[in-house]
Amino acid sequence: MPVRAPDKHTLTDLVGNTPLLQLRLFQERRPGVEVYGKAEWFNPAGSVKDRAALAMLEAGESCGELTPDKTVIDSTSGNTGIAYALYGAAKGYRVLLVMPANVSEERKLLVQAYGAQVVFSDSMEGSDGAIRLCRELIAAQPERFFYPDQYNNPANALAHYEGTAPEILAQTDSRVTHFVAGLGTTGTFTGTARRLKEHNPKIVTVAVQPEDAFHGLEGLKHLPSSIVPAIWDESVADHVWGAPTERSYELARRLARNEGILVGHSCGAALWAVERLLEQLETGVVVTVLPDSGDRYLSTGLYRL
């Protein structure tokens, strides 16, 4: 049989169409419920943020605001920054990122590996402190930067409205009954939930945030104590639940040790919400987003015995 030459792709062609993995974690407890996780670490930069980062850069190019002389700047807790750095390198743009100083070492090293410049904000001020410092840098040299502003850019949510949600519908043959996702920029949840609700208003949507302002769930925002993103649309959320850090960690570890799926902090929070949701269900098809792999958190306490 002749060998078929592999298809040729650019990196941007590989964003999206991530696998939907069936999870056995809760199967014994609720055999009538199918639970699936969208494995977003299959994107080139390793997380769900590839979708939004690429969409925001391409939107900037389309409207003429992002030009070769501009430096891409934004605040990030890590994953969006890694994606900016990768796609900035691929497209030939300089990238400057503002990150809280306490993000994992792996995230710091990854953005620098792709050639991005990093400025660290006060770790005690979290993502809001990074936002404020980013805006100060832009105010000092506004002509130098292209600022996607991931927390307020409609292209963020649109990437999931046009990509993540249709993929979930196709991968479940439109059988999905419940959707669960964490809240950071809120783009993943808002865009996906909006499209799913348009397809079938009976689909139940659950947004997950940390249970309080001081937490260990990297990538998630406690909205009541934070600068609320402009793209957040609470009207598409049937429930907004607060996940406890320790139980989220426990579920992430169980998924790794029982199913061989290594995930990050925010994935653990999503699993906690799935666990709570299953207390109310006997049948259904639950889909959650697993934003990234746990290999970029090995220096943290997440998988430390």
Q: Which of 238, 231, 285 is nearest to 32 (CA)?
A: 285
**165 in Cβ contact with 192 (< 8 Å):** yes
**Distance of alpha carbon 246 from alpha carbon 236, whole angstroms:** 28
Cβ atoms within 10 Å of 293's Cβ, excluding its own: 18
How far is the CA of 117 from the CAs of 51, 120, 131, 235, in angstroms? 22, 10, 16, 37
Rounded Cα gap, residues 264 and 103, in angstroms: 13
The residues carrying an active-site annotation are 49, 266
Q: List strands edge to edge, sheet with 204-210.
A: 20-22, 33-39, 284-290, 178-182, 204-210, 239-243
Closest residue by Cα to residue 264 from 242, 295, 220, 305: 295
Helices marked H in 160-303: 165-171, 187-199, 245-259, 265-278
State the Cα–Cα distance between residues 25 and 265, nearest whole angstrom.
17
